[in-house]
Chains A and B, each alone.
Chain A
Amino acid sequence: MKTMIKTISAIGVGAMLMAANLTYAKPEVGQPAPSFEMVDTLGNVVDLASLEGKTVIMEWTNHQCPFVRKHYESGNMQALQKESVSDDVVWISVLSSAPGKQGYVEAEQANNIIAENGAAPTHMLLDPSGELGQTYGAKTTPHMYIINASGDLVYMGGIDSIPSADKADIQSAENYVRTALTQIKGGEEITTPSSRPYGCSVKYSS
């Protein structure tokens, strides 16, 4: 008797994924960061290629997400932004919420929120189609990426080590972004190049 062989295909991701065209090659730490060229909320063109020579931080945000609010209401994110910008780092906040989803805003309101929060990003990019977010594989808000001066991705993941929505945890957590920036400045190797990003899911369309 021939041996019975059962081959099974398990759960497919579904039409949603197909529609969203989610076959991006994932960005990898140590590899060149995916390039992009977009217009920010102030009308300026932001082209990653032209930012070569500078360290770039990408921060996926959603002002209504409790985890983002944890870092903004405590002033943590703003402080980190100001520190970085003063070190000649380019800080890019990205909003990938689709129209109708939590956090979606238009340019004018986005700028108002930045002003209200006292935030200090160099640029704010609106990505309602989710294309930039999916190119970078952004899954949560906040989700942080650091690109070095040569254009390589050197960090991606969570902002710090305690994945909670509690402001009280900020003090005791290790801020991976701050640590990485210090290490880049000192020319050292980054000890934690990847960590688990935590937060709300990015509100992509579908």
Chain B
Amino acid sequence: MFLFFKHTMFYLLNKFRLNLVTLFALLGFMLCNNSYAVESNVVVTENVKARFLSQYSQVEAGQSFYLLFEIDIRDGWHTYWLNPGDSGQATSIQWTLPQGVTAEEIQWPYPERQYVGPVANYGYHGVALHRVKVSVSQDYASDQAIIVKANATWLVCEEECIPEKGQFSFELPLADIAVLAAENQTSFSRFEKILPKPLDVESGYQYASSSVDSEEQVRFEFAPAQELLSASKIEYFPHDWGVLQAPAEQTVILDPKFVSISTLKGDLRFKKPLKGVLLTWDESDEINAYQVESKFGALNIQTGSQQSTQRQSSEAQEIGLLSALLLALIGGLILNLMPCVFPVLSMKALSLVHHADQPPAVIKRHGVVYTLGILISFAVLAITLIMIKAAGHHIGWGFQLQAPIFVAAIVVVIFVLGLSLSGFVEIGASLMGVGSGLAQQQGYKGSFFTGVLAVIVATPCTAPFMGPAVGFALTQTPVITVLVLLALGFGLALPYLLISFVPVLSRYLPKPGLWMKKFQQVLAFPMFATAAWLIWVFGLQTNMGQVFNLLIVCILITLVIWLWQNVKEEHYWRTISRAFALATLFVAGLFIWKIASNSNDTNAVVDNARTEEIVNYENFSLERLQQLRELDSPVFVNMTAAWCITCLANEKVALSKAQLKTFFTDNNITYLKGDWTNQDAVITSYLESFSRSSVPLYVYYPKGSASEPQVLPQILTVAGVMEFIKLADQQN
């Protein structure tokens, strides 16, 4: 080693012609770096090698930095976490530091659960790291390096335990600018990965008061956080001893609305906020650790956030209506370009405008009357649709978009419309004839009927926009249906209304021409695309066999149309093709019937599934409660709210379980459920009568109008509820 230095010296002297002072400074610098600036002495025992590492090799005044206490543990042995569990002892460090330098508490990496027979501990194997934050005060005025001394004690165990300790010291020189200790950075970044990250999630814990037989449980509830919901396994480690039984199984429930972890209660009963570590494993077994804090008591999501989501959803509904109206308006505008509409209206409008002898006011009035004609026609259309819908409801159809047969019907209609747009079949041509006669009439009546004509003629030629708007309107309230259709009508009337007010605009009106035909044919494609999408939806609702049936129906209808259009041929062929067309129609009808009957089955299945979900409860009302009690019927009351996580957890864990439902039915217990999400006044006073100010509240009334209501504990289990009810009945 010395030779090396000697040679380096001469090399440097010759090469760089440094003078001796600088050389010794360089040497000193090198030596200092090789000394205990970045790590302490290593204490080696029979079972471990322990040392301190420093994040910086030189520190500044006013700086905070980290030290790492590293214990390299022998294979098969382990040291302990902050909470060592059932036995063992946590590693601890006692510092001797100069004035102005302070050290904080140890920061621990996430632990693992270690079983020793029926006992469990929390600790580490391999290399155990412990990080401590050290702060140097701003006015640390000393040229001396900081001498850090630490006495560390730890318990290292395999099966037997050996308490060990070590004395460590090292020097940290001060400098104007701090210098990172490069060689230690991997250890520090490794620690960052295993340190639990703070997770800002609302959390609560409660105890399930037990009957004599069952063991008491403690349950931790968490508001749903993505980090937790995406885990395939979760484990909770409390900071304090006595919170839970370390070796006991933890039952985790992950629900979109909450996360709960239940396990056996430890030796102590707490009321203070509890700190703990949540360990999550994802599908690829990657571990993430989070630091959480749980308050004592039932967990309710902050009402503030709940209210804002309610506000947002009502806003969304408003926007939905507005955009629907806008779409309808645009759709109406586009309808003007449809070839079946355009020529008629264009001619009429132009004639309107070119009547030079008409004063502007009259022209304007024509425009208004024309608009009225359109609007009234659409209103009639809307009312007709509403009546059909109402009648359908009465008969039992229901315009449910969920009903597969309804979707199938729309597919057929849209498909035929697509055919019509593509020019395969002309629909509405005859209607045009009828309407134009009325429209020929002069005067305001003529303008009115031109408006009506526009509607009649426009309807078969449905623009891609009209379908969704009408479909949407049908699913909404009558008021909205009318509004949407009126918006559609207004869009249709708009161009000509504008022209009647500002005749100059007529110059910008496009002239009818071949472009209209092409435009109409192009519009066939969005139609077919819509049909395809609806067939996909139909397929989701039913199965591939039904999809086949539907496609066959479409093909057959195309065939029917084609056959019917050949009517114009010779008489001989006419009869045959008509007959054939009718036959095909009959076959198509068979397929339609096939779809209808099968989809009824599907509906039946869907309904059954829905009844499975439908819980066996009635909505709470004081009258019903009174009535049931007078009928000598036992009653179980559950007061819940959508923002109450404890309520949701209890419902999931106990109240919705089949076993409990059967128990209720077998014992003729009526289950009344009250929803306090919006803080209903009746429920508030009911809660107050039991001296409660919040949910959940579970009350059991044994049979008899004079029976004493029994309040159940806040945390429910199936067994707990059944036992409680049995006990209450006995005491009754």
Contacts and interface: CB of A to CB of B under 8 A. Distances in A.
B254 A6 contact: yes
Contacts of A201: 86-88, 116-117, 119, 121
A59 to B, nearest CB: 16
A5 to B, nearest CB: 6
B660 to A, nearest CB: 16
Interface stretch (A18-26, A50-58, A171-179, A181-189): A18-26
Nearest to A12: B249
B47 to A, nearest CB: 13
B304 interface: no
A110 interface: no
Given A22-B118, A164-B153, A7 B87 contact: no
Given A8-B232, A140-B86, A201-B87, A196 B242 contact: yes
A13 B157 contact: no
Most buried by B among A22, A139, A197, A203: A139
A14 B117 contact: no
Contact of B267 (A64, A66, A194): A194
A166 interface: yes
B177 interface: no
B235 A11 contact: yes
Interface string A154-168: 001100000111100
B118 A200 contact: no
A151 B701 CA distance: 38
B253 A8 contact: yes
Contacts of A115: none
Contacts of A156: 267
Contacts of A197: 87
Contacts of A14: 115
A35 interface: no
B268 interface: yes
B248 interface: yes
Contacts of B153: 164, 166
Contact of A66 (B115, B121, B162): B162
B256 A205 contact: no
A11 B118 contact: no
Interface in A82-103: 101-102
Contacts of A134: 118
B75 interface: no
A139 B256 contact: no
B254 A102 contact: no
A205 B117 contact: yes
B158 to A, nearest CB: 10
A8 B160 contact: no
Nearest to A201: B87
Most buried by A among B119, B213, B254, B255: B119
Interface string B614-644: 0000000000000000000000000000000
B701 to A, nearest CB: 31
A8 B89 contact: no
Nearest to B241: A196
Contact of A7 (B241, B248, B253, B268): B253
Given A164-B89, A194-B267, A16 B118 contact: yes
Nearest to B262: A10
A199 interface: yes
B541 to A, nearest CB: 13
A65 interface: yes
B159 A66 contact: no
Interface string B224-252: 00000100111100000110000111111
Given A13-B115, A204-B118, A65 B248 contact: no
DSSP majority for the A interface? loop
A9 interface: yes
A17 B121 contact: no
Q: How large is the interface on B (under 10, 10 to 19, 20 to 34, 35 or more residues)?
A: 35 or more
A20 B252 contact: no
Interface string B248-275: 1111111110000100000110000000
Nearest to A8: B252
A25 B210 CA distance: 12
Interface in B641-680: 652
B233 A194 contact: no
A77 interface: no
A198 interface: yes
Interface residues of A, number: 45
Contact of A200 (B161, B233, B241, B250): B161
Given A10-B249, A164-B89, A194 B268 contact: yes
A202 B119 contact: yes
B320 interface: no
Interface string B145-173: 00000000101010111110000000000
B115 A16 contact: yes
A205 B163 CA distance: 23
A201 B155 CA distance: 12
A41 B458 CA distance: 106
B115 A25 contact: no
B113 interface: yes
Nearest to B268: A194
Contacts of A16: 115, 117-118
Contacts of A203: 117, 159
A8 B254 contact: yes
A144 B574 CA distance: 107
A66 B155 CA distance: 10
B117 A204 contact: yes
A146 B233 CA distance: 40
Nearest to B121: A201
A171 B403 CA distance: 81
Contacts of B601: none
A206 interface: yes
B200 interface: no
A8 B160 CA distance: 35
A97 B374 CA distance: 96
B542 to A, nearest CB: 17
Interface string B700-725: 00000000000000000000000000
Contacts of B159: 101-102, 203
B607 interface: no
Interface string B371-408: 00000000000000000000000000000000000000
Contact of B157 (A12, A26, A157, A200): A200
A14 B235 CA distance: 16
A7 B118 CA distance: 26
A165 B117 contact: no
Interface of A: 3-14, 16-17, 20, 22, 25-26, 64-67, 101-102, 134, 139-140, 156-157, 163-166, 194, 196-206
14 contacts: A5-B255, A7-B253, A10-B234, A11-B250, A13-B247, A25-B213, A26-B215, A164-B89, A194-B242, A194-B267, A198-B87, A200-B87, A202-B117, A203-B117
* Top 6 closest pairs, chain A to chain B, by CB: A165-B163, A201-B87, A204-B117, A139-B86, A6-B254, A140-B87
